[in-house]
Amino acid sequence: MSTPAPPVRPAAGRSAGQLLSSVWVLTVRNLLHIAREPMRLSDATIQPVVFTLLFVYVFGAGVVLADGASYEDFAVAGLLALNLTTGTVGTAVGLSEDLGTGVIDRFRALPLWRPAIIVARSLADLLTAVICAFFVVLTGLLVGWRPDADVGSVVAAFAIFLLFSYAISWVSACIGVLSRDPESSQGIGLIVLFPLAIVSNAMVPTENMPALLRTLADWNPVSAVTAAARDLLGNPNPSAAVDAWPMQHPVLASLLWSVALIGVFAPVATAIYRRRTTD
């Protein structure tokens, strides 16, 4: 007589190794999709180059910084923030695509930790953020940007950027699981994230903005991350003269914003995902 196969244990009974294995397998699956269709990386390879050239040579011609500071040195930290923030729209599109094609139903038939699907997407897109940062930095170096800090400070600046990008990807994950198709997730994502990136100190100083807009920009998490990176990279940081608390403590504000975004949106995205994929 054949012995029946043991039932699959619920997620709560699985070991940490099994949960990590689920996340790893699905992360590799997402990376293989990118390898097979490289144009998925256009927002991490082509967009950073185009944005850097456009903003440096178009905005740079009209923005005058105090003490004759170089706009190239000012702009690169902002371009990193801009590209890494808007680039997380890919998380929303990828999740919406998976939910719409029915592949999630196949995954549910496997002994996988269900939230691993959404966690793996966020990790794969974190690796995409590394590629995006590389292209921004490479283009920045070509147009004249230079950091003026030690290696430790430079590494810390990029670590803050990547942590923030990972945090924002959970906001995009919420958009992706709420959207019914990839097109709507991309549209909604850009509506939410592009103003977040623009209404900040990323590309222009906030001192000449209208009062309400200036307040919003000074408390914008993108502004905190950008100001922190400028300080750590030794680049011009006009926001250091702003009295708002995030601009006086940009590194701490960046970490608090990132932790808060993950703490709020990761559970929300997971809960919405569970509800949407439950029969």
pLDDT tens-digit map of 252-266: 999 999 999 999 999
Residues 158, 186: Cα–Cα separation, whole Å: 26
Share of the chain above pLDDT 90, in %: 56
pLDDT-derived band at 242, boundaries 50, 70, 90: very high
Residues 18, 14: Cα–Cα separation, whole Å: 6
State phi, psi for 253 to the nearest 5 degrees. -60, -40
Q: For residue 154, what pLDDT is reported?
A: 96
Torsion over CA of 140, 145, 151 and 154, rounded to 10 degrees? -60
| Residue 115 predicted with pLDDT over 90 | no
Average pLDDT over residues 177-198: 91
State both tokens at 124.
Answer: 């794969």
State both tokens at 270.
Answer: 């997971």
Write down the residue that tokens 């400070």 correspond to: 153
Q: Which of 215, 54, 33, 201 is nearest to 128 (CA)?
A: 33
Query: Residue 16: CA atoms inside 13 Å, Cβ hemisphere, count?
Result: 0
pTM of the model: 0.87
Q: For residue 10, what pLDDT is reported?
A: 44
Residue 226 contacts residue 141 (beta carbons within 8 Å): no
Give CB contacts under 8 A, 24+ apart, made by 147-150.
147/233, 147/234, 147/235, 148/73, 148/233, 148/234, 148/235, 149/232, 149/233, 149/234
